[in-house]
Amino acid sequence: MVTDEHLDPAEPSSAVLEELERLCVDLAVAAARLIRDERPQQVGVAATKTTDTDVVTIMDQRSEELLHRLIRGARPDDGILGEEGADVLGTSGLTWVIDPIDGTVNYLYEIPAYAVSVAVVTGDARTEGGWRALAGAVADPSRELVHHARRGGGAWTVPESAPAPGSPTRARRLAVSTEERLGRSLLATGFGYDADVRARQAEVLRSVLPQVRDIRRIGSAALDLVRVADGSVDAYAESGLNAWDLAAGWVIVEEAGGVVLGRRGHRPGKALTVAAGPALVQPVQALFDPATQ
Ligand code: IPD
């Protein structure tokens, strides 16, 4: 099993972490402005991926191109891994893991729940369980907010127009909900694009629904994780996530006092990702993890 010690042979100094966090914020805000301000009247589907409903828009591609260019300019030795195909092997040991639009279907339908997710990770970003995020930012263009964190620095929300990390006047510090009762918990979840996977996820929800207050399907994993971090949902669970869906949200949840788990004995990832406050996370894991049933 990969442990955090294996992933952090040499954690960067706090000054470097702060610089990385600041860059995460700047990058996420730049891409958020692009996809909001330059959104064409007809967005249109540029391509499909795993299924006919797993779409890529021209703005996903433009957002990833912008992030790629800015990262190469600022940190030429770092790697890049992006949802729409960016794949650069770096030499520094750090990799930028980017989702240029998380919640693409919402973006396509003009439902204001989509995000840009930017994280910088150590370890092997291409191997599930092989990496750990050092800092991350999730920009929410519809609300003109950016949520961000770095290891040891707390989790924060700032207006897009004043995104300096730690800005004393306008930053709001995030904290997970203190709800401990499963039956009172509002649980965010999501579904994959593949029909068979969705059928299995619906089956799991049959047993979950009677045991929680209610569920929410917001349509952006990055925003679901931010909602756990700011306490506006009590927990989140989903299977099928990729590194770019969860890297930034993971560090934000942990810095807000929450816990992110996978299946029992595994790190968060495709099989399962669960996020909640410390008292709730294992009961929620047990609802979704066949290994605990
Ligand atoms: C998707 C969203 C959705 C989640 C899916 C993700 P995308 O990302 O985060 O909420 O349920 O698992 O794939 O495709 O919009 O970048």
Tell me what the pLDDT averaged over the chain comes to: 92
Q: Which tens digit of pLDDT belongs to each residue from 254-282?
A: 999 999 999 999 999 999 999 999 999 99
Residue 253 CB burial class (10 angstroms; 0-12, 13-18, ≥19): buried
- Report the C-alpha gap between 239 and 24 in whole angstroms: 26
- Report the C-alpha gap between 163 and 25 in whole angstroms: 7
Give the domains, in start order, of the chain with CATH numbers.
Answer: 14-173 (3.30.540.10), 182-292 (3.40.190.80)
| Atom nearest to 242 CA in ligand 1 | 13
pLDDT of amino acid 286: 96
- Report the C-alpha gap between 193 and 177 in whole angstroms: 30
The reported pTM is: 0.94
| Atom nearest to 192 CA in ligand 1 | 12
Integer-rounded Cα radius of gyration of the chain: 18
Mean pLDDT of 138-158: 97
Q: How far does residue 292's CA lie from ligand 1's centre (Å)?
A: 26
Q: Which tens digit of pLDDT belongs to each residue from 85-119?
A: 889 999 999 999 999 999 999 999 999 999 999 99
Mean pLDDT of 131-152: 97
User: In a mutational test of the pocket of ligand 1, which residue from 197, 220, 238, 239 has the highest number of ligand atoms less than 8 Å from its CB?
Assistant: 220
The set of residues, in sequence order, having a beta carbon less than 8 Å from that of 133 and lying 6+ positions away, is 97, 119, 120, 121, 247, 248, 250, 251
- Report the C-alpha gap between 83 and 106 in whole angstroms: 16
Q: Where are the alpha helices (DSSP H) in the chain?
A: 4-7, 14-37, 58-74, 104-109, 195-208, 221-230, 243-255, 281-288
Cα angle 37, 43, 46 (rounded to 5 degrees) comes to 125
- Report the C-alpha gap between 61 and 141 in whole angstroms: 17
Q: Which tens digit of pLDDT belongs to each residue from 24-68?
A: 999 999 999 999 999 988 887 888 888 888 878 899 999 999 999
Q: How far does residue 246's CA lie from ligand 1's centre (Å)?
A: 10
CB of 95 within 6 A of ligand 1: the answer is: no
Tokens in use for 22? Answer: 């600041």
- For 103, 105, 260, the CA distances from 285, given in Å and listed in that order, are 24, 27, 10
265: nearest Cα among 252, 278, 282: 282
Q: 2 falls in which pLDDT band (50, 70, 90)?
A: very low
Secondary structure class of 274 (helix, strand, coil): strand
Q: 159 falls in which pLDDT band (50, 70, 90)?
A: very high
